[in-house]
Amino acid sequence: MAYLLDCPQPLAVYYDALLLDLDGVCYRGKSAIAHAPASLEKAVASGAELRFITNNSARPPAVVAAHLNAIGIAAKEEEVINSALTTAEQIRAHCAPGSKLYVIGGQGVWEALQDAGYELVDSAADNPVAVVQGLSETASWVELSEAVLAIKAGAKHFATNLDATLPRERGEMIGNGSLVAAVTNATGSEPIVSGKPNSFMYEYAVRKISARRPLAVGDRLDTDIIGANRAGYASLHVLTGVSSARDIMQATPLERPSFLGIDLQDLHMPMPKVEKKAATWECAGHSAEVKAGILEIDGVIYHAENSPVISLPQYRAATCAVWDYTDNASTDGQIALPDFQVQRSA
């Protein structure tokens, strides 16, 4: 059985559309992630079409595109797909144009809903037919309480995404999902969500550009990778954002990506085959095996208290060995894993 896909061509050559997460993949806060601008410029030159897919609904696509251009990543407004746009698309299936909506969110949410023809109100007393929650950095108790009142009065509940946190330069900060959780805790209602890990955003993007072989690129297992798997699209995980190498090794089947990389440079690398031979998993001359819950890479035993550096082929072989063990071990399949640091050559 194969856990990871192999691709003898660079991914940016084989896949005709790259569905790129933003926070943690292209940038962190106001700064581009290392190698992202050059890697994406090279991807376009290789023939790949780019779409920037973000759960962050606060900023309109034009603002996001301007940010990308300012940090050296060429982008057009129409190449940005945020969860405000996809939420507006979802709402069309439930609420007629002209309906009243109570909205919590940034400028991106307000613009997307106004452009879709809805009347936006600021109180539950206006009898909105739906509540829409997007990320708002100034959301207050009053606004959240109005949302609760409207939902309890019968309004449908929509959320642009359920991200618990948002990566910024200083670390992980509160995300829209944490604010949505406050409203759902008070109402007992579960919102309709368009953002990742729902597959809707990816499917929307692919429909817009008629892609034949899309590749999702992300840093989070619980959003980017699950969303790609639910859509049936291949995915590349990079280690420049939230989910670590250890997180990858501990991933459930739904969270597992198709390819493993370090950063966007890996769009231009062939992906070597990772295959099982006897009890070991091998990749580009390196091998890994789990024996009685202990991981060995190239014959070296790794313990949980270490923070070792391993190469990219070692990482790929070790990940498949751990997945194989957790899926098939007669015990509970738990492995004490260290906090691996992955380099192109260790």
**Is-contact 110 58, C-beta < 8 A?**
no
For this structure, is 332 an active site residue? no
Number of separate helices (H) and strands (E) present in the chain: 11, 22
Which of 6, 23, 163, 339 is flagged as catalytic?
A: 23
d(CA 343, CA 308): 11
| Residue 47 CB neighbour total at 10 angstroms | 10
Q: Catalytic pick from 6, 16, 21, 266?
A: 21
Backbone angles phi, psi at 228, to 5 degrees: -65, -45
- Cα–Cα dist 282/264, whole Å: 24
Going by C-alpha positions, the residue among 125, 126, 116, 123 that lies closest to residue 96 is: 116
CA 2, CA 215: separation in Å to the nearest integer?
Answer: 18
Q: Are 184 and 191 in contact (CB under 8 A)?
A: yes
CA 204 from chain centre, in angstroms, equals 15
Instruction: Provide the β-strand partners of residue 236.
Output: 217, 259
Structure tokens belonging to residue 108: 């991106």
Alpha helices by DSSP H, listed for the chain, are: 11-14, 36-45, 61-70, 83-91, 107-115, 141-152, 176-187, 200-209, 226-231, 245-249, 312-328
Is 23 part of the annotated catalytic residue set? yes
Estimate to the nearest angstrom the gap between the alpha carbon of 262 and the chain centroid.
15
- Token pair 């070991």 in the structure block, residue: 280
Rounded to whole angstroms, the Cα distance separating 125 from 243 reads 42
Task: Enumerate the active-site residues.
Answer: 21, 23
